[in-house]
Amino acid sequence: MQFPDYRPRRLRQNDAFRKMIRETSLSVNDLILPLFAIGGKNIQNPITSLPGHFQLSIDNLAKTATSAHQLGIPAVMLFGIPEHKDAMATSAYARDGIVQQATKALKDTIPDLAVITDVCLCQYTDHGHCGVVDCEIIDNDATLELLAKTALSHVQAGADMVAPSDMMDGRVAEIRDILDDNNFYHAPIMSYSAKYCSAYYGPFRNAADSAPKFGDRRTYQMDPGNVLEAIREVMLDIEEGADIIMVKPALAYLDIICRVREEIDLPLAAYNVSGEYAMIKAGEQMGWIDGPRIMMETLTAIKRAGADMILTYFAMDAAQVLSGSVDCEWQG
């Protein structure tokens, strides 16, 4: 078909036509809201690098999660900031750990809200790395048992799903085994399968107090230049029992999301990470960009690339736009 017989603009001339032929639609059901739990009562510490987000004591966490649930957001991802840190991350798998307490409170308060818990050790170790350290080397196999214990403790507290983000080899199988051995065979695993060593995580590390005290995470997180390695990582996690695969970050790795989508038929998540959120918020605050429109365009791009669900700090803002309670002419 060629001009003038075919004119693509015919189907762009009004909003009704544009809606009828729209290939990618964003829904509130696609959104997962990350939340940061901290000890104490009536605490709401602003996270300066994530405007609009806070470290929340469990009472305030429940209020925020309730608001998210009322907006139709189906799930939250819980991160914890513990009072105690040590070399073996004992607070990560303690029965009264911050994530364990927060999980129980959320399930008691909002039973229909899906609680997903991040399974990693970086927030709980005094050195800030995601695994056990031996002479400044991350000991992969010694870490697996601790990750599995952490995942089990989360599910015992009521978590609906666990999400290992550490990037240790073999951790999905270890977690699947311990859950099945304890009759939690129904609990799914959302694996951070293709998690890149990215500078986009900066604001999160400030929020979770999880920056490494020495070195970096390049020996376990992926090299940003690699594509085929991401496919191998994904396939390994599927073989080990992952139920949902995640790519992180999202915006700078849309090509990875697309490639993974072409290779697998499992549900695919993407994490619209803290740096991606912070840049848009900063541009909006400076008056340089239309923040709400760019937010929605960004989330639509992630969905268009192939993600079935998006973890995003924009979840509540986007849900308000999608519900029509906030005016934002982001399509058409």
DSSP 194: E
C-alpha span between 48 and 178 (Å, rounded): 38
Q: Which of 85, 104, 149, 195 is catalytic?
A: 195
Q: Which of 244, 313, 295, 327 is nearest to 26 (CA)?
A: 295
Q: Which residue has the tokens 């809201």?
A: 33
Q: Which residue has the tokens 């405007």?
A: 51
3-state DSSP assignment of residue 274: helix
φ, ψ dihedrals at 248, nearest 5°: -145, 130
Q: Clarify whether 248 is annotated catalytic.
A: yes
Tokens representing 320? 């308000």
| Torsion angle defined by CA atoms of residues 272, 273, 279 and 280, in that order, rounded to the nearest 10 degrees | 30
C-alpha span between 52 and 155 (Å, rounded): 29
List alpha helices for 46-139, DSSP H.
58-70, 98-109
Tokens representing 289? 């960009």
Q: Which of 85, 149, 248, 281 is catalytic?
A: 248
- What residues contact 311, with CB distance under 8 A and at least 6 apart? 32, 33, 34, 77, 246, 269, 270, 271, 272
C-alpha span between 27 and 329 (Å, rounded): 16
Q: Strand pairing partners for 119?
A: 164
Handedness of CA 87, 93, 96, 102 (dihedral sign): positive
C-alpha span between 146 and 140 (Å, rounded): 11
C-alpha span between 190 and 196 (Å, rounded): 16
Q: Clarify whether 195 is annotated catalytic.
A: yes
For the chain, state the CA radius of gyration. 20
β-strands 31-38, 54-57: how paired? parallel
Q: Which residues are catalytic?
A: 195, 248
